[in-house]
Chains A and B, each alone.
Chain A
């Protein structure tokens, strides 16, 4: 275990070094992220300039959904950025180098590039979230905050699973871009409360691309409207996705070792 921490630590050092030497590259991404966040926030605020509620939710309630979506997105990006670079690595056969080493291949490629800039984004995000908390009056409600954090953690497990699935698809077909694009596009849907979607669509976003679990569940937990049923669903989905993703990974790695040339 300690070994893996040390490896992770060194990978972060390497990531930091990479960031410094590719300042412009990462700087531009960072800027892009801020632009994206700002524009979408503007949109939400603009919409609320014309209406009082969306699907029964008030302004700050919607904002909690919005901020939680960005939080989960940032968390995923911060820690699993390596997946987005993974495709090139496979093409360059660097995957072979990872396989021959006495380190868990999946761990290595997931953590290969910790996105330090995204981690710094977490700070203002948290600040905004706390601000929204205060506007909603939940700051004095430790139970709600605890539930929020708990389900953020569970949502994080699902986020990890999605990234593992993407890694598996990359190894298998070299084409995981599509999957990632689905996921990233879905994050647009996750900005809003799930009730705006029809029931079948909500099911899709709960069980197939589970952004509901990732974003809506923690938000609802905070607002005190999380049903027991949904909470249980969240836990089950997290477990199923996580184990499923690991299985998919194992299979795709096997396929790679049988077929690569």
Chain B
């Protein structure tokens, strides 16, 4: 256990060295969210309801949604994984008494926690700013489910990133795929706009994938657009996804490692 904690500590130090980076990304995020708020504010000027959302609901959607999204983010972990594979750094970890999967979980926690702390602060600031418009949910059960979803969601996103990163075992050209996967997952999670705005087939398609659980689904629950039972069912499905992704990660890891060692990087 201790060595994994040490891993986390090292990542904190790294983050402090790259503080301009961290600040920059936080500002960029802030920007992104503000722009969304501004655009929707303008759209709501002439309309009191769009796609079943009222203005306060939309603001809540954006802020709470992004909060959840940031809490589950791992900030480009697929790049870390792919780099370790391509630069041969993997050899460092397969020869040491580390469980690689446990190690990367610790690594991502270390890496994400600093960005997360900054992101959390920023989000709270935004929420304070817009407290006039935000709907505050009083349903304890919703909160509990949402928090569970966040926890599970973090690991889902992590495993998806790791799996994406694993393609480095088999090809050299990766960043294009990363870009597309990231974009795709963000859209399907509802990061850019509520999925209910889109035609039904898109919504159904999204529900077949795990991405919604890191934005759209929990926010819908929060806003009371989903019942507690539906929320629990969603959590259940999410946990099944987690299990599947974990299993897939372990399997692909074994396969990838075989390939890695056969090539002798």
Complex contact flag A–B (Cβ < 8 Å): yes
Q: Any chain B CB within 8 A of the CB of A14?
A: no
CB–CB A25/B176 < 8 A: yes
Q: Any chain B CB within 8 A of the CB of A128?
A: no
Q: Any chain B CB within 8 A of the CB of A185?
A: yes
Q: Any chain A CB within 8 A of the CB of B99?
A: no
Residue in B closest to A180 when the chains form the complex, CB atoms: B28
Measured between alpha carbons, how far is A24 from B180 in the docked complex, in Å? 12
CB–CB A32/B179 < 8 A: yes
Which residues 192-226 in B have Cβ within 8 Å of A in the complex? 192-193, 197-199, 202
- Which of A35, A50, A55, A177 has a CB less than 8 Å from the CB of B180? A35
Q: Write the nearest CB–CB distance from B185 to chain A, whole angstroms.
A: 11
Measured between alpha carbons, how far is A188 from B51 in the docked complex, in Å? 21
Which residues 26-69 in B have Cβ within 8 Å of A in the complex? 27-28, 31-32, 35-36, 38-39, 41-43, 45-47, 49-51
CB–CB B193/A43 < 8 A: yes
- Residues on A with C-beta less than 8 A from B27 are 178, 182
CB–CB B184/A35 < 8 A: yes
Interface size class of B (residues with CB under 8 A): 35 or more
Main secondary structure of the interface of A (DSSP, over half): helix
Residue in B closest to A179 when the chains form the complex, CB atoms: B24
- Residues on A with C-beta less than 8 A from B197 are 43, 46-47, 50
Interface size class of A (residues with CB under 8 A): 35 or more
Main secondary structure of the interface of B (DSSP, over half): helix
Measured between alpha carbons, how far is A176 from B61 in the docked complex, in Å? 31
Given contacts A29-B180, A35-B183, A196-B43, whether A24 and B35 have CB atoms under 8 Å apart is no
Measured between alpha carbons, how far is A182 from B199 in the docked complex, in Å? 31
Q: Write the nearest CB–CB distance from A217 to chain B, whole angstroms.
A: 19
Instruction: Mark contacts of A33-54 with chain B using CB atoms, 8 A cut-off: 1 yes-contact digit, 0 otherwise.
Output: 0011001101100110011111
Measured between alpha carbons, how far is A186 from B27 in the docked complex, in Å? 12
Sample of 13 more A-B contacts, CB < 8 Å, known A30-B176, A182-B31, A189-B38: A22-B172, A23-B173, A25-B175, A29-B180, A32-B183, A43-B192, A50-B47, A50-B49, A51-B46, A51-B50, A55-B45, A185-B32, A192-B39
